[in-house]
Amino acid sequence: MSQISQEFIAFSIKKQVLKFGEFKTKAGRLSPYFFNAGLFNDGESLLKLGEFYANSIKKSGIQFDMLFGPAYKGITLAASIAIAFAKNGHNFPYAYNRKEAKDHGEGGIIVGAPLRGRVLIIDDVISAGTSVRESIDIIRQHGAEPCGVAIALDRQEKGLSELSAVQEVETLHHLPVCAIANLQDLLEFASNQQDMAQHLLNIQQYRQRYGVI
């Protein structure tokens, strides 16, 4: 587990973004943990989150010209990442979409920089891949090309097939996906925390049933 992943998981738990218990997923599964990036809801959290993303993206080696954050969670994520890169001397433009097209003023569904060149899609997690597919369509409709996806947490569990949701995106759309942390990182983190023994067992059992390697 990388230092970035370890620090990100610890930070997510501290901010109660990553919680443990029993949670029903979109797929109807009862998960022993839940990740809600919407709870990174203050300035300090967004600043650190953007830096975690930026470090993960840089480490991945994905080459891009701008960022795209699908509404709604992707909006603040993309903005925080753009700020984090700018702090280190890399000034990337970013854009996001509206859920409904605006028929006055500048109009359209895109807010921010024009979609051009290689566009990196930003999201929190990939569940069914719906948000990614919609983002790909929007980007291509505007004459740009998606070049990858950056997420916070890869759950590494089966999507619509025997592949994980992330693997499905990589296979179907031929796009690399980078994550700040994944389920294996979470298991390793929990194994080093005495007070997380029961959570570790529950997560291991969940992975045996739904996980992919």
Residues annotated as catalytic are: 102, 104
Question: How is the chain split among helix, strand and coil, in percent rounded to 5?
Answer: 45, 25, 30
Separation between Cα atoms, residue 40 and residue 58, nearest integer Å: 22
- Give 22-88 as a 3 state SS string: EEECCCCCEEEEEECHHHCCCHHHHHHHHHHHHHHHHHHCCCCCEEEECCCHHHHHHHHHHHHHHHC
Give helix 183-191 / helix 197-210 axis angle, nearest 10°. 150
Q: How far is CA 136 from CA 37, 129, 173, in A?
A: 22, 11, 9
The token pair that represents 206 in the structure block: 């969940």
